[in-house]
Amino acid sequence: MPIEKLQRKIKTTQELREIVSNMKTLSSVSILQYDQANAVLEKYQRNLQDAIHVLALHNGIPQSASEQPAHPRYLFIIIGSDNGMVGRFNRDLTERVQQFIKTEKIAASDAYFITIGKRLSALSEQADFNVLTGYATSNSVKAVVSLAETIILRLEQTMRRQRVTNVYACFHRRSGTGVNVNLQRILPVDKEGLLKLKKKRWETNNIPMLPVNKDKMFAALVGEILMIALSKQINASLAAEHYIRMTNMQNAEKNIDESLEELNLEFQQQRQEEITGELIDVISGANAMAEE
């Protein structure tokens, strides 16, 4: 390869490395932001759990809250990615849901879907999922709660119109040094958990009074718990997405460094040969002049 062309290739590779390094840093910062957001949401979630505990102690949990109907219908909220460089991120989600539907023997007419991520929407249609609506992924921490609230409203409408009884969220979560697909039930409310709360002793002898009607308070608390749970799942998915991208950028950075090392070595060798050639020409010219 000509030395000028080699120099241009080295420069282009260095610029590519800088882009990859910036993307890796951006993903690392984004992961921290989504983790911090979930830490804040967890504190609020604990307050909601205390409120549910008080309601349970006042016998304010409706008996029908955790009962399963004779003919259950399902809604799956699948949280994917709109961006590239994440490998099988979206495909793994659809395959996990397909596996669950097959295992539980759920009829196609009894399963509805809400998707987050345009690429995921296309995959869901290929899988013959009955997609009711699709949303774009959030690009910031601030937009996550707003997206979750919008989905909760759509969920409430779907539960009334399609008589949905079971709601699941499918999303990625970081686990150790990798990322796993999670499928979590959001509704109905966990019956065993409610019973445990009813039997669990309050921290003091003074149980707080209920400020509003029991049914209204239960409905409001369930809505807030759903919103927080979904927000945390979206944050976890976004953090997992950035983790995969950061890992891919680290691998790309390593490959680029190896390529740069080889290119620089080749450049040095060619430059040395060029200098040696020039010296030989100078010495040859000097010898020729001396002979004259």
> pLDDT tens across 119-133, in order?
888 899 889 999 999
| Residues 255, 136 within the same domain | no
| Residues 261, 241 within the same domain | no
Q: What is the largest CA-CA distance in the chain?
A: 116
| Residues 209, 255 within the same domain | no
| Residues 232, 271 within the same domain | no
Cα–Cα distance for residue pair 149/153, rounded to 1 Å:
6
* CB 230, CB 152: distance < 8 Å: yes
| Residues 55, 91 within the same domain | yes
CATH number at residue 256: 1.10.287
| Residues 148, 226 within the same domain | yes
With CA atoms as reference, report the closest residue to 26 among 178, 249, 252.
Answer: 249
> pLDDT tens across 243-281, in order?
999 999 999 999 999 999 999 898 888 888 777 877 776
| Residues 108, 17 within the same domain | no
Give me the helix-helix angle, 3-57 and 191-199, nearest 10°: 50
Q: Which is more confidently placed, 284 or 171?
A: 171
Instruction: Provide the token pair at 66.
Output: 């955790």
Query: pTM score, two decimals?
Result: 0.86
The phi and psi torsions of 9 (rounded to 5 degrees) equal: -65, -40
The whole-number pLDDT of residue 63 equals 67
Q: Total domain count for the chain?
A: 2
| Residues 138, 181 within the same domain | yes
The whole-number pLDDT of residue 291 equals 64
- Mean pLDDT calculated for residue range 38-54: 93
| Residues 223, 271 within the same domain | no
| Residues 19, 130 within the same domain | no
| Residues 267, 177 within the same domain | no
226-237 burial, b at 16+ Cβ within 10 Å, e below that, comes to bbbbbbbbbbbb
| Residues 20, 39 within the same domain | no
CATH number at residue 89: 3.40.1380.10
State the residue range of the domain holding 84: 30-246
